[in-house]
Protein backbone atom coordinates (compact mmCIF):
# COMPACT_ATOMS: atom_id res chain seq x y z
CA UNK A 1 0.00 0.00 0.00
CA UNK A 2 2.83 2.41 0.87
CA UNK A 3 4.52 1.76 -2.47
CA UNK A 4 1.28 2.39 -4.36
CA UNK A 5 0.63 5.56 -2.34
CA UNK A 6 4.11 6.85 -3.21
CA UNK A 7 3.55 6.12 -6.89
CA UNK A 8 0.19 7.91 -6.75
CA UNK A 9 1.85 10.89 -5.06
CA UNK A 10 4.58 10.87 -7.72
CA UNK A 11 1.98 10.92 -10.50
CA UNK A 12 0.14 13.82 -8.82
CA UNK A 13 3.41 15.74 -8.33
CA UNK A 14 4.51 15.21 -11.94
CA UNK A 15 1.06 16.15 -13.24
CA UNK A 16 1.13 19.32 -11.14
CA UNK A 17 4.54 20.32 -12.51
CA UNK A 18 3.45 19.59 -16.06
CA UNK A 19 0.26 21.60 -15.69
CA UNK A 20 2.12 24.55 -14.17
CA UNK A 21 4.66 24.45 -17.00
CA UNK A 22 1.94 24.45 -19.66
CA UNK A 23 0.18 27.39 -17.99
CA UNK A 24 3.46 29.28 -17.78
CA UNK A 25 4.36 28.92 -21.47
CA UNK A 26 0.78 29.65 -22.53
CA UNK A 27 0.64 32.76 -20.36
CA UNK A 28 -2.57 31.72 -18.61
CA UNK A 29 -2.92 32.33 -14.91
CA UNK A 30 -3.15 29.68 -12.23
CA UNK A 31 -6.47 28.11 -11.42
CA UNK A 32 -8.03 25.51 -9.16
CA UNK A 33 -7.07 22.86 -11.72
CA UNK A 34 -3.45 23.24 -10.55
CA UNK A 35 -4.42 21.20 -7.50
CA UNK A 36 -7.59 19.33 -8.43
CA UNK A 37 -6.48 17.63 -11.66
CA UNK A 38 -3.13 16.32 -10.31
CA UNK A 39 -4.83 15.17 -7.09
CA UNK A 40 -7.47 13.25 -9.04
CA UNK A 41 -4.83 11.66 -11.27
CA UNK A 42 -2.83 10.62 -8.22
CA UNK A 43 -5.86 9.07 -6.50
CA UNK A 44 -6.93 7.21 -9.64
CA UNK A 45 -3.42 5.83 -10.02
CA UNK A 46 -3.38 4.71 -6.39
CA UNK A 47 -6.75 2.93 -6.60
CA UNK A 48 -5.86 1.27 -9.91
CA UNK A 49 -2.65 -0.10 -8.39
CA UNK A 50 -4.49 -1.24 -5.25
CA UNK A 51 -7.07 -3.13 -7.30
CA UNK A 52 -4.28 -5.04 -9.06
CA UNK A 53 -2.26 -5.63 -5.89
CA UNK A 54 -3.92 -9.00 -5.31
CA UNK A 55 -3.04 -10.36 -8.76
CA UNK A 56 -1.01 -13.58 -8.80
CA UNK A 57 1.28 -14.84 -11.52
CA UNK A 58 -0.80 -16.38 -14.28
CA UNK A 59 0.05 -19.78 -15.76
CA UNK A 60 -1.55 -20.24 -19.16
CA UNK A 61 -1.72 -23.56 -20.96
CA UNK A 62 -0.68 -23.89 -24.60
CA UNK A 63 -3.13 -23.98 -27.48
CA UNK A 64 -3.09 -27.77 -27.81
CA UNK A 65 -4.07 -28.31 -24.17
CA UNK A 66 -6.71 -25.59 -24.41
CA UNK A 67 -8.30 -27.16 -27.49
CA UNK A 68 -8.18 -30.62 -25.92
CA UNK A 69 -9.85 -29.35 -22.75
CA UNK A 70 -12.71 -27.81 -24.73
CA UNK A 71 -13.39 -30.85 -26.92
CA UNK A 72 -12.59 -33.82 -24.67
CA UNK A 73 -15.12 -36.24 -23.28
CA UNK A 74 -15.77 -36.40 -19.55
CA UNK A 75 -13.56 -38.93 -17.69
CA UNK A 76 -15.53 -42.04 -16.58
CA UNK A 77 -17.20 -41.62 -13.19
CA UNK A 78 -16.36 -37.91 -12.98
CA UNK A 79 -17.70 -34.52 -14.07
CA UNK A 80 -16.01 -31.64 -15.89
CA UNK A 81 -16.18 -28.16 -14.39
CA UNK A 82 -15.43 -25.04 -16.45
CA UNK A 83 -15.33 -21.53 -15.00
CA UNK A 84 -14.86 -18.49 -17.21
CA UNK A 85 -14.86 -14.73 -17.10
CA UNK A 86 -15.47 -12.17 -19.84
CA UNK A 87 -16.25 -8.49 -20.09
CA UNK A 88 -14.25 -5.27 -20.11
CA UNK A 89 -14.89 -3.81 -16.65
CA UNK A 90 -11.92 -4.42 -14.37
CA UNK A 91 -10.50 -6.95 -16.83
CA UNK A 92 -6.92 -6.61 -15.52
CA UNK A 93 -7.94 -7.39 -11.93
CA UNK A 94 -7.76 -11.08 -11.09
CA UNK A 95 -10.78 -12.75 -9.49
CA UNK A 96 -9.95 -15.61 -7.12
CA UNK A 97 -11.95 -18.78 -7.74
CA UNK A 98 -12.05 -21.52 -5.08
CA UNK A 99 -13.56 -24.99 -5.16
CA UNK A 100 -14.57 -26.49 -1.82
CA UNK A 101 -12.46 -23.87 -0.05
CA UNK A 102 -9.28 -24.59 -2.05
CA UNK A 103 -7.89 -22.14 -4.64
CA UNK A 104 -8.79 -23.25 -8.16
CA UNK A 105 -7.53 -20.33 -10.27
CA UNK A 106 -7.33 -16.57 -10.54
CA UNK A 107 -9.02 -15.25 -13.66
CA UNK A 108 -8.62 -11.93 -15.42
CA UNK A 109 -10.88 -11.21 -18.39
CA UNK A 110 -11.27 -12.94 -20.78
CA UNK A 111 -10.00 -16.22 -19.28
CA UNK A 112 -11.26 -19.67 -18.33
CA UNK A 113 -10.08 -22.67 -16.38
CA UNK A 114 -11.32 -26.22 -15.98
CA UNK A 115 -10.90 -29.27 -13.81
CA UNK A 116 -12.47 -32.67 -13.24
CA UNK A 117 -14.50 -33.20 -10.07
CA UNK A 118 -16.14 -36.10 -8.32
CA UNK A 119 -19.93 -36.44 -8.57
CA UNK A 120 -21.75 -34.82 -5.67
CA UNK A 121 -22.17 -31.40 -4.11
CA UNK A 122 -19.36 -28.83 -4.26
CA UNK A 123 -18.98 -25.19 -3.24
CA UNK A 124 -17.71 -22.72 -5.84
CA UNK A 125 -16.71 -19.27 -4.60
CA UNK A 126 -15.24 -16.06 -6.02
CA UNK A 127 -13.59 -13.06 -4.38
CA UNK A 128 -11.00 -10.40 -5.07
CA UNK A 129 -8.97 -11.18 -1.98
CA UNK A 130 -7.99 -7.54 -1.44
CA UNK A 131 -7.89 -5.74 1.87
CA UNK A 132 -8.74 -2.17 2.77
CA UNK A 133 -10.93 0.08 0.65
CA UNK A 134 -10.49 -1.91 -2.56
CA UNK A 135 -11.70 -5.08 -0.88
CA UNK A 136 -14.87 -3.50 0.47
CA UNK A 137 -15.93 -2.43 -3.02
CA UNK A 138 -16.50 -6.02 -4.17
CA UNK A 139 -18.74 -8.48 -2.34
CA UNK A 140 -17.60 -12.12 -2.64
CA UNK A 141 -20.06 -14.83 -3.57
CA UNK A 142 -20.48 -18.58 -3.58
CA UNK A 143 -22.76 -21.11 -5.23
CA UNK A 144 -23.38 -24.80 -4.76
CA UNK A 145 -22.56 -27.13 -7.65
CA UNK A 146 -24.42 -30.44 -7.94
CA UNK A 147 -22.33 -32.61 -10.25
CA UNK A 148 -23.51 -35.82 -11.89
CA UNK A 149 -21.15 -38.42 -13.36
CA UNK A 150 -20.50 -37.68 -17.03
CA UNK A 151 -21.81 -34.10 -16.75
CA UNK A 152 -20.21 -30.95 -18.14
CA UNK A 153 -20.78 -27.91 -15.92
CA UNK A 154 -19.97 -24.40 -17.12
CA UNK A 155 -20.20 -21.33 -14.89
CA UNK A 156 -19.71 -17.70 -15.89
CA UNK A 157 -18.36 -15.22 -13.34
CA UNK A 158 -20.04 -11.84 -13.40
CA UNK A 159 -20.25 -8.60 -11.46
CA UNK A 160 -23.31 -6.52 -10.62
CA UNK A 161 -22.62 -2.86 -9.90
CA UNK A 162 -24.30 -1.31 -6.90
CA UNK A 163 -24.40 2.15 -5.36
CA UNK A 164 -21.64 1.43 -2.85
CA UNK A 165 -20.14 -1.88 -3.95
CA UNK A 166 -20.05 -4.50 -6.69
CA UNK A 167 -21.36 -8.02 -6.16
CA UNK A 168 -19.48 -10.91 -7.75
CA UNK A 169 -21.59 -13.93 -8.69
CA UNK A 170 -21.82 -17.09 -10.82
CA UNK A 171 -24.25 -17.96 -13.59
CA UNK A 172 -24.67 -21.58 -14.69
CA UNK A 173 -24.77 -21.96 -18.47
CA UNK A 174 -27.81 -23.85 -19.75
CA UNK A 175 -26.01 -25.03 -22.91
CA UNK A 176 -22.48 -26.08 -21.85
CA UNK A 177 -21.32 -27.29 -25.28
CA UNK A 178 -22.34 -24.04 -26.98
CA UNK A 179 -20.48 -22.05 -24.34
CA UNK A 180 -17.33 -24.15 -24.80
CA UNK A 181 -17.43 -23.35 -28.51
CA UNK A 182 -17.61 -19.67 -27.59
CA UNK A 183 -14.46 -20.12 -25.46
CA UNK A 184 -12.48 -21.56 -28.39
CA UNK A 185 -10.27 -18.46 -28.67
CA UNK A 186 -10.25 -17.47 -25.00
CA UNK A 187 -6.96 -18.03 -23.09
CA UNK A 188 -7.02 -20.88 -20.57
CA UNK A 189 -5.43 -20.64 -17.13
CA UNK A 190 -4.03 -23.80 -15.56
CA UNK A 191 -5.90 -24.84 -12.41
CA UNK A 192 -4.01 -24.39 -9.14
CA UNK A 193 -5.49 -27.36 -7.31
CA UNK A 194 -2.78 -29.92 -6.59
CA UNK A 195 -4.93 -32.81 -7.74
CA UNK A 196 -6.70 -30.86 -10.47
CA UNK A 197 -5.93 -31.34 -14.14
CA UNK A 198 -7.41 -30.05 -17.35
CA UNK A 199 -9.83 -32.36 -19.05
CA UNK A 200 -7.84 -34.26 -21.65
Per-residue pLDDT of the chain (200 residues; tens, 9 = 90+): 555 455 545 655 566 566 665 666 766 655 555 666 666 565 545 444 445 555 778 899 999 999 999 999 999 999 999 999 998 777 888 899 999 999 999 999 999 999 999 999 999 999 986 544 454 566 789 999 999 999 999 999 998 876 567 788 999 999 999 999 999 999 999 998 754 443 33
* pLDDT attached to residue 88: 79
For residue 165, which of 113, 130, 195, 115 has the smallest C-alpha distance?
130
List the beta bridge partners of residue 87.
Answer: none
Compute CA distances 98 → 31, 123, 128, whole Å: 50, 8, 11
Supply the pLDDT for residue 41. 61
Distance CA 1, CA 164 (A): 22
Q: What is the pLDDT of residue 55?
A: 76
Cα distance between residue 192 and residue 113, in whole Å: 10
pLDDT for 50 equals: 46
pLDDT digits (tens, 9 = 90+) for 113-165: 999 999 999 999 999 865 444 545 667 899 999 999 999 999 999 988 765 67
Residue 199: the pLDDT is 38
Alpha carbons within 13 angstroms on the beta-carbon side of residue 120 total 6
The structure's pTM equals 0.71
CATH fold group of domain 63-185: Immunoglobulin-like (2.60.40)
CA 194 to chain centre: 21
Q: Parse the chain into domains and list their residue ranges.
A: 2-52, 63-185
Amino acid sequence: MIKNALIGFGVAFAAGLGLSFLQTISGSGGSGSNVVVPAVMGMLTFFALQMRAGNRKETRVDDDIRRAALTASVPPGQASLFVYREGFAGKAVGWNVALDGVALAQLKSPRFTCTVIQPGRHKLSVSLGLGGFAGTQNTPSETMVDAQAGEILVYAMKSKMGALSNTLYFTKEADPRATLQKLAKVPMVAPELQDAKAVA
